[in-house]
Chain A
Amino acid sequence: MSLLAVRNLDVNFDTPDGEVHAVTKLNFSISAGDALGIVGESGSGKTQTMMAVMGLLAENGHASGQALFKGHDLLQMDTAELNHHRGKEIAMIFQDPMTSLNPYLSIEKQMVEVVMHHQGLSKAEARAHALEMLSAVRIPDPERRIRQYPHEYSGGMRQRVMVAMGLVCEPDLLIADEPTTALDVTVQAQICQLMSELRRKSNTAIILITHDLGVVAGLCDKVLVMYAGHPVECGSVEQIYYRPRHPYTKGLLDSVPRLDQPEEKGLHAIPGNPPNLLSLPRGCRFRERCPKAFADCVEAPPMSVDSEGHAYRCFLDEPA
């Protein structure tokens, strides 16, 4: 059985300008110990998917469908029930480590509170456990560092603290929303290494939300590509990177500046801009920017699955 199975998830927002369809008909699942990358550009719905799963949608947002975590639907739970899972079994790391740590509380207070609440340990035990986690994420001199406040940490160290806090209760599922986007490349490399190491050690399943195809290639086994609220392709990393089926995935891969290829190759941009979620085009949402669009694309293509389990939302039955 999969650890988390999302079925027919729709996320909509009521806004003064009309209803925004942030996520439409999303299906995916992840098993224990797996790493799934959700890739897409701004506004593709990747963050709102996870916010819906965690019960963290803004007030004007509503989700329908199912999000089965160990067989229980997270979307049907009230806050008290959700709190039983959140933090303990499902942890989340956000993009900006400064805004997700409380600036008024020391790192010690913030970490110890989580452990005491979820694992029922005494304060001293919780503190020992927190120190252990801080050394695991390679914070130097944790005894001194744990008493400090978030502003005394650098950006990379704050994100390492977030990883430590996320993993302190040994969750079954870690959701990381753009965990390295705000960081420098050298620090990003350190955080990625750390996450894959911790995953191997504790068999935590990871959902990594990012726009960076390079980070996904290094960390994940499965990839889900989203565009304008629609899942457009889903498969193993090998399928997505070497045999993409959707023209958007292909375009995305081509527009990444790569250091491992000769510079003469140039950069291929996807022309145009993503559609407005208030007034989505009829049919395939990528149609207007797609180099291979043809007459049929005014009807929405269904999600097709080939014999190897590679799913894609495109009428074309050929590699992109």
Chain B
Amino acid sequence: MNDRVLRVQDLSVHFKVSEGGFFNSQAHVLKAVNGVSFDLSAGETLGVVGETGCGKSTLARAILGLIKPNRGRVLWLGEELGKLDEETLRQKRKDLQIVFQDPLAALNPRMTVRDIIAEPLWTFYPKIARVQVDERVRGVMKMVGLLPNQVNRYPHEFSGGQCQRIGIARALVLNPKLVVCDEPVSALDVSIQAQIINLLKDLQTKLGLSLVFIAHDLSVVRHISDRVMVMYLGCCMEISARANLYKRPLHPYTNALIKAVPVPDPKLARVDADTGLTGDMPSPLSPPPGCVFHSRCPQSVKRCKLEVPALRRMENGDWVACHRAEELDLTIGD
């Protein structure tokens, strides 16, 4: 299809780490992202969900070309980011922006809100007139729900939710086409979290943005995603349309993640609290052979220990990496 703006193909990012003492240190390879593929259309939101250490932040950085992948490609509007020279890549970055998790840590405490939001403008258009910058800064501030008369304030004068709005304004000031949000609401209180999710959703419809929205829990991405990707130990387990994923997940891990979200209803919360998952996530330095999830999977069979399941397309267009996807019925009960 033509409206695919971003294509990620077989992306792998490996880190070399050493373990052990000074004299007997051993080199290991940590496969942070391992063979992840997906497409993203213009104006679409892909939610990326997984637990700590599943590689979702590394994936975000690799998409933006901040980390060089060891294998695979990232195509932005048909061009492979890894093959561009530095200056061309820099120019492309105008289209690709990121919003970080910790809103206070992502803002320079010694810069005013105006300077923080205007910095990308100065970087890409050094000759731009001051008046124009000011107008644009006030424009995006209004867009994200900040008062334009606060331009001369410093980050510490704002609450967490407002700081995240500043981070979003900075990401939007260059009119990007793709914004990668790396856990943008994890550090915020629930009432504020809902504000930011609704804001991002509105901005996306208004500006036609493509979003990659990373979170560690499935309830958060549900309201904003068109499709959801579930990751575990660097591998993609499932990519499904929202309506399918929350009703009938294809992968046992997705099913466990859905069941693990606590329901704020005392009658429902007491029943069915069991996720079926046992044990802890294995170390990413020595992932289990076969399917990486088999050691905790309640549905695993012998084949899962031996063969790595490929990410394959199902009849309805969803993708799953599970040998038993056809035979399992993981419909979420009412």
Contact = CB atoms under 8 A, between A and B. Distances in A.
Interface in A250-286: 251-253, 255-260, 263, 266-271, 273-274
Task: List 8 A-B pairs, minimum CB-CB distance, nearest first.
Answer: A214-B262, A269-B194, A218-B269, A270-B191, A41-B189, A184-B51, A269-B195, A255-B194
Contacts of A154: 280-281
Contacts of B159: 273-274
Interface in B170-207: 189-195, 197-198
A192 interface: yes
Interface residues of B, number: 46
Contacts of B268: 217, 260
Nearest to A220: B266
A245 interface: no
A134 to B, nearest CB: 14
Main secondary structure of the interface of A (DSSP, over half): helix
A68 interface: no
A187 B273 CA distance: 12
B123 to A, nearest CB: 31
A213 B175 CA distance: 37
A246 to B, nearest CB: 13
Interface of B: 51-52, 159-162, 189-195, 197-198, 216-220, 222-223, 242, 246, 256-266, 268-270, 273-275, 277, 279-281, 332
14 contacts: A156-B280, A185-B217, A185-B218, A186-B277, A190-B275, A192-B262, A213-B264, A214-B263, A237-B266, A238-B266, A252-B190, A256-B190, A257-B220, A274-B189
A211 interface: yes
Dominant secondary structure of chain B at its interface with chain A? helix
A193 B273 contact: yes
A184 B216 contact: yes
Contacts of A24: none
Interface string A227-248: 0000000000110011000000
A78 B113 CA distance: 48
Contacts of B280: 154, 156-157, 187
Interface string A19-56: 00000000000000000000001100000000000000
Contacts of A274: 159, 189
Interface of A: 41-42, 140, 154-157, 184-190, 192-193, 211-218, 237-238, 241-242, 251-253, 255-260, 263, 266-271, 273-274
A41 B190 contact: yes
A257 B219 contact: yes
Nearest to B191: A270
Counting chain A CB atoms within 10 Å of each CB, the highest count among B219, B223, B262, B265 belongs to B262
Given A140-B279, A188-B260, A216-B264, 11 more contacts: A186-B260, A192-B273, A213-B190, A218-B269, A218-B270, A258-B264, A259-B218, A259-B222, A260-B268, A263-B246, A267-B198
Contact of A155 (B52, B161, B260, B266): B52
A77 to B, nearest CB: 34
B261 to A, nearest CB: 5
Contacts of A257: 193-194, 197, 219-220, 222-223
A310 to B, nearest CB: 14
Given A184-B51, A258-B219, A42 B189 contact: yes
B189 A259 contact: no
B14 to A, nearest CB: 22
Contact of A269 (B52, B191, B222, B277): B191
Contacts of A140: 279
Contacts of B242: 263
